[in-house]
Every structure is written in C-alpha cells, then in structure tokens.
Amino acid sequence: MTFLLTTVTYLCAHTLMDIPQVTCQPVLDMAYDAFDDQYIGCTEDMENIIKSELLRKEKSKHKVFSKRWEAAKKQWNEKKKNLSLPVGFKDENGIAILAYTNGNQISLHKEFNKAV
C-alpha cells in the first residue's frame, strides 16, 4: 500500500510540474527619475529631504497623489491612536501605506503602478 501511495504521489507531482505555468511580466524600464531608498549611512539626511523637498515636489506635480496623501493623513491621525506601532515607525510610513492601499475614492495604486 505504501509503495502504491508513493508511486501515485510521485506521478501526480511529476504531472503537475510538467504543466506549463502562465506568467505575466510587467514592462519595466530603468526608472531614471526614481528615488533610491537604499540610503545607507545617510538615513536622517534623506528622510529630511523626503519630508521637506521631495514630498512637496511630488504633491505639486501630481494632483491625485496630493489629494490621496491629504486624505490618508487625516485617516492616519485617527487610526494611529488605536495602534501599537513598532519602534521607529513614522507617521509618513502610515500615511504612505494608507495613501497607496485605501484609494477607494482616488485609486492611487493604479496611478502609481502605471507610472512605475
């Protein structure tokens, strides 16, 4: 019985491995204007740039992003009162997550994915 079970399991696994898988490859470019977030050794400086310059610049260039960011900021100020957050978690982290994922009225994730 064990031999039969082992044989059937092997045949099923082998059959499943031979079935071609469908893959979807998004078109990616080098994103020359993308921001590199691997700022090793200068974290504090880069966070200040993001907060002061980069965020302001992006909000002024992209109205959907600006609206969604402001809505997410209001949501975050309410939500964070009831959350236990990890050490180092900043308001901007929470706002960014909400801005990207909670786009019920303004679908930021679609705009973001299209731009990337």
Q: pLDDT per position in the chain (116 positions), as tens?
A: 666 667 767 666 656 666 666 666 766 666 666 666 666 778 788 888 887 888 899 889 988 889 889 999 999 999 999 989 889 888 988 998 888 887 556 567 777 777 76
Q: Domain segments of the chain: what residues?
A: 2-115
CATH of 2-115, picked from 3.40.50.300, 3.30.70.260, 1.20.120.1770, 3.90.176.10, is: 3.90.176.10
pTM of the model: 0.59
Give, as one character, the DSSP assignment of residue 80: G
What whole-number distance in Å separates Cα of residue 94 and Cα of residue 69? 11
100, containing H or E segment: helix 91-101
